[in-house]
Amino acid sequence: MPDVHIGVVGATGAVGTVTLELLAERGFEDVRAFASARSAGRTVPYTGRELVVEEATPDALAAGGLDLVFFSVGTEASRELVPPAVRGGAVVIDKSDAYRLRDGIPLVVVGVNDHALDGSEIVANPNCSAMQLACVLEPLREAAGLARVRLATYQSASGAGDAGIERLRSIAPAEGDLGMDWELDGEEFSEEWKLRAETRKILELPKLPLHATCVRVPVLVGHAQAVWVETESPLSPDEAREALASSEHVELADLPTPADAAGRDKVLVGRIRRDTAGDGLALWAVNDNLRKGAALNAVQIAELLLARRALPA
Ligand code: 2RA
């Protein structure tokens, strides 16, 4: 494993924890854990030892000694802490929405738009829902072009971070309810317009008609999406299955549930059928929102950077 000096900011959170697991599985040795003052001084397990969590301050991150820093913190914290990390000489892979839609910042789903990785010091890791959708749409786009996309999402509690997990754990299973915990921005939730804007940027289809309705469900891990796709040229369900099966980030499944996807790397896609109310196809996709939807994609971006030797020496 290359001698790369890695920092994980937000190391005690849901995505940070999975990031550490994935880095450990891949044999990265030189890893430092960072978090807010509240968690600093705690320890987190890493390859049979304990890492002492350091406080993520601008000074600590600007001090140098880090080649690559994974950020899984809120938007405001990323805005404050990413620039010092870059000044310190690191390439940053940021999971917040602070940089995703900025011109000049690549928004990368590995396996979908690897070419967007262009030597920028900040790489944005997309919203988990946009990531899942892009993995499904790209093979269909390649097969027949995309004319229009509609979807309804069923997003798990862990998408709302530790607070969402704690909230779900605090209620009795029979008392679980649907939620809509995103900010309303006009008629849409922020999650809904982000899904459209990020998918358009990832697929480089700035005018793709895309409309989403997002809902939080009482499930711990695994986001589900019911997707209706109209393609530019005709695409039968069998042709769609063939296109999706050829993607290394998608696996076909009969009736995949969030529990089937939890802990798995691929987006599971099933129920591929004609949309009897329109011209296109209907399908169902589930994904582990903490893995390909977050930590795994970040680690895959790092692996691409390493393969291209695009990290500071
Ligand atoms: C959610 N995709 O599930 C968002 C943020 N992780 O709320």
- Residue 118 is predicted with a pLDDT of 87
**Residue 3: band (very low, low, confident or very high) from pLDDT cuts 50, 70, 90:** confident
pLDDT class of 186 with cuts at 50, 70, 90: very high
**What's the pLDDT at 309?**
80
Q: How many CB atoms lie within 10 A of CB 274?
A: 13
Residue-wise pLDDT for 29-74, tens only, equals: 999 999 999 999 999 999 999 999 999 999 999 999 999 999 999 9
The CA–CA distances, whole Å, from 225 to 13, 131, 208, 308 equal 25, 12, 18, 33
* Per-domain boundaries in the chain: 6-126+294-307, 129-289
User: ∠ CA(143), CA(146), CA(150), 5° rounding?
Assistant: 125
Q: Is the dihedral of CA 299, 302, 308, 313 positive or negative?
A: negative
pLDDT band with cut points at 50, 70 and 90 for residue 1: low
Does the domain at 129-289 match CATH 3.30.360.10? Answer given as yes
Confidence of residue 2 (pLDDT cuts 50, 70, 90): low
Residue whose Cα lies nearest atom 6 of ligand 1: it is 159
> Contact at 8 Å (CB) between 132 and 194?
no
Residue whose Cα lies nearest atom 4 of ligand 1: it is: 159
Contact residues for 68 (Cβ-Cβ < 8 A; gap 6+): 4, 5, 6, 7, 90, 91, 92, 93, 302, 305, 311
- Chain-centroid distance, C-alpha 189: 18
What are the pocket residues of ligand 1 if the criterion is a CB atom closer than 6 Å to any ligand atom? 127-129, 155, 159-160, 191
Provide mean pLDDT across the span 139-146: 98
Q: How confident is the model at residue 271 (pLDDT cuts 50, 70, 90)?
A: very high
Mutation test residue for ligand 1: of 73, 199, 289, 297, the one with most atoms within 8 Å of CB: 289
The residue written with tokens 């709302």 in the block is 160
Residue 199 has pLDDT above 80, yes or no: yes
Question: What's the CA-to-centroid distance between 132 and ligand 1, angstroms?
Answer: 12
The number of CA neighbours under 13 Å toward the Cβ of 1 is: 14
- Evaluate whether 211 touches 197 at the Cβ level (below 8 Å): no
In tens, the pLDDT along 282-299 reads: 999 999 999 999 999 999
pTM to 2 decimal places: 0.96
Mean pLDDT over each residue of the chain, to the nearest integer: 96
Atom 5, ligand 1: which residue's CA is nearest?
Answer: 159
Record the tokens describing residue 96, joined without a space: 């917040």
Ligand 1 atom closest to Cα of 128? 2
CATH of 6-126+294-307, one of 3.30.1120.10, 3.40.50.620, 3.60.20.10, 3.40.50.720: 3.40.50.720
- Catalytic amino acids? 128, 223
CA-CA distance, 229 to 207, in Å (whole number)? 15
Answer yes or no: is pLDDT of 311 > 80.
no
Write the pLDDT tens digit of every residue in 99-114. 999 999 999 999 999 9
Is the confidence at residue 312, as pLDDT, over 80?
no
At 201 the pLDDT is: 98
Cα gap 48→60, rounded to integer Å? 25
| Residues in CB range of 225: below 8 A, 6 or more apart | 129, 132, 133, 136, 151, 152, 153, 154, 284, 285, 286
* 129 C-alpha to ligand 1 centroid (Å): 7
